[in-house]
Structure formats: C-alpha cells, structure tokens
Amino acid sequence: MTHSHGTQHAGPVTLSLVVPVFNEEDSLDGFLLRIRQVFEREAQISLELVFVNDGSTDSTLERLLHCQQSNSTIRIVDLSRNFGKEAALSAGLQIATGQIVVPIDVDLQDPPEVILQMIERWREGYEVVLGHRISRRNDSWAKQTSASWFYRLHNKIAEQTLPENVGDFRLMDRCVVDALLTLPESRRFMKGLFAWVGFRTTQVEYERPERAAGQSKFNGWRLWNFALEGITSFSTEPLRIWTYLGALVSLVSFAFAMFIVVRTLIHGVDMPGYASLMVAVTFLGGLQLIGIGVLGEYLGRTYIEAKRRPVFLVRRIYESKD
C-alpha cells in the first residue's frame, strides 16, 4: 500500500487490548504469559488489558480475578449474561481508554508479536492497521470454502466491501474507536462496522497458528447465522433480487399462459397433467416462502432496532486495586 500522509506518532503510547472471553479458563494463563513476554521490554508502550467476560459458566471470571491481583494492567468487564462476541467487543471498546486499541482473542491464533508491527505502521500515520492472515491452512476445508464464498457474495452485493482473510484483530486509533462508539445500532456486525467507518488503513501480514487451548465457540450453524447477519446488515440487495426474480417468474408464467391459449385454440382442450400442476404449485409456493423469509429477515432487524435495547448490560467492572 502507498505511504500515508496522516499524523505521525512518536514517543510513549497507551495501548488497550480488548479481549472477549467466554469459557476460556484453560487459555488465560498462556495468553497472559505471552503478552508479558512481548510487552515487558517495550518501555514506550503503556499496556491496558480489558477482559470482557461474556457470561462464562466455568471459572473464567475467578481465574481473571486471581490474575488481576498480580497484574495491575488488567481490567475486567463482567457482562450480566452471554450477549455474544459482537456485543462483548462493543463493551470492550467502550471501556478501553488507550490511545490505540487492539481487539484480540485469548486463543493466541492472533500472535501478540504482530501488534508491535502494527504500532510501527500506526506511528507512520495510519489510523487502522489490519491483521491479514496469509493463509487459512489451519481451518477445515468446509470453513475455508464457506469463508471464501461469504466474502465473495458479501463484497458483490454490499456497498462496503470487507477485506478478505481479516478478522477482528486490528489496531485502531482512538479517533476510530470514538467513531465506532457513535454508531447506534443494536444488532452489530463488527467486521462490517470496522470497514464502514473507513479512516486511513494499511495491513500487516501474519501466519495464523493453531488454537493454543480450549475449543472454538463457532459451529457451522452459528457461522451461517453470522454470515446472514453480515449480508443483511450492509445490503438490501437480497430484497431487490426477489423483485427481479418475481418479475422473471411472472414473465415466464405469462408466456406459458399464452402458449396454453394458442395450443387450446389449435388442438382443443385436453386433460391437464396432475404432476405438472403439482410441480408448478409447489415451486411457486416455495419461491413465495423464501421471498417472505428474506423480507422477514429485514423486518426482524427493523423490529429489534426499533426497541432501542442496549447492546449489552454490565454486571460489574473490576478495577485493579494497585
């Protein structure tokens, strides 16, 4: 990418790592050890760790509180229940106080060492530095294929394109975080919101290792719903597609009706086929139901947004006593 002409940054900087956690008791010690190894010699970086406990049912919160006793950089945001990763991420961004903010997962698939490269690019004047995965070889074939199709479809029909093979792992300047916090929607597709706000952007590339501990919380069904959320959040194209499809089906049915009229005038009336009638009825019925489903998806979003419920509820924020 071309060199940025933005404000260049030198000297000390405050960095907030936003870490959403849900049943991650096995991953915390390894993550904190790695963070300490990366940042303990960085005298110019003042670190803040914002852990967002997203309604964990194991001992994640107790483990965090224990770690906080010996680590004054840790702040813990305990949500009242499990609101999902997008909401937990929003909570972390709201609480984080750093001059630059980096969302990162606790499973170490996003190597903390990459953050140092991101900070170098930020010092050059960029306001957003994306973490770009060189490959997805540690993902299953199904996950790789579905991700590729999702990006291709989303970027074809949405006004705002998403950078491929880029997750939530990125560095954001304070001005970017403040802009994100002004967005009022309660159904939040964070990848789309990150892309929508814009700002001067570059990327650093890294190889994504396997998960250090624990299990991924995203199964096939959740990933499907996540993709649906992304497409309906940033595009009304599916509604337009059904308008065109409806017009096409009407045109075909009108042409078929003309054919029947002409054939009847020439050959007389014959007994209509039950099988072809059932195929036509079920095909058109299925088409209508899918169209109603697409319409319902958007209507449901409008209904939920109209309630103006908060994205998350905080039960308590645990600050370090140091």
What are the pLDDT tens digits along the chain (322 aa)?
A: 444 455 666 678 888 999 998 888 888 888 888 888 888 887 788 888 999 988 888 888 888 888 888 888 888 888 888 888 888 888 899 888 888 899 988 888 888 888 888 888 888 888 888 888 886 665 655 566 666 666 666 566 666 666 677 778 889 888 888 888 888 777 777 777 888 787 888 888 888 777 555 555 555 556 656 566 656 666 667 777 777 777 777 777 777 777 777 777 777 666 566 556 766 777 777 777 777 877 777 787 777 777 778 888 888 888 876 5
What is the pLDDT, as a whole number, of residue 4?
Answer: 45
CB 102 within 8 A of CB 15: yes
Whole-angstrom Cα distance, residue 21 to residue 216?
Answer: 11
Which H, E and C letters describe the chain, residue by residue? Answer: CCCCCCCCCCCCEEEEEEEEECCCCCCHHHHHHHHHHHHCCCCCEEEEEEEEECCCCCCHHHHHHHHHHHCCCEEEEEECCCCCHHHHHHHHHHHCCCCEEEECCCCCCCCCHHHHHHHHHHHCCCCEEEEEECCCCCCCHHHHHHHHHHHHHHHHHCCCCCCCCEEEEEEEEHHHHHHHHCCCCCCCCHHHHHHHHCCCEEEEEECCCCCCCCCCCCCHHHHHHHHHHHHHHHCCHHHHHHHHHHHHHHHHHHHHHHHHHHHHHHHCCCCCCHHHHHHHHHHHHHHHHHHHHHHHHHHHHHHHHHHCCCCCCEEEEECCCC
Q: How much is the pLDDT for 302?
A: 78
Give the type of residue at 228: L
Q: In the β-sheet with 201-206, what is the strand arrangement from edge to edge? A: 201-206, 128-133, 166-173, 100-103, 13-21, 45-53, 74-79, 314-318
- The amino acid that residue 198 corresponds to is G
Please tell me the distance from the alpha carbon of residue 175 to that of residue 127, in angstroms, as a whole number: 8
pLDDT for 273: 63
Domains and CATH numbers, the chain: 13-235+310-318 (3.90.550.10)
pLDDT score recorded for residue 130: 86
Tokens of 286: 């299925």
What whole-number distance in Å separates Cα of residue 190 and Cα of residue 166?
Answer: 12
pLDDT given at position 224: 58
The Cβ of residue 28 has, within 10 Å, a number of other Cβ atoms equal to 21
Taking CA atoms, 306 is separated from 88, 133, 184, 300, 314, in Å, by 21, 37, 11, 10, 22
> Tell me, what's the pLDDT at 150?
63
**Res 3: pLDDT:** 46
CA angle 144, 146, 149 (to 5 degrees): 110
Q: Distance (Å, rounded) from C-alpha 208 to C-alpha 189?
A: 22
Evaluate the CA torsion angle 256, 260, 266, 267 in order and state its sign. Answer: positive
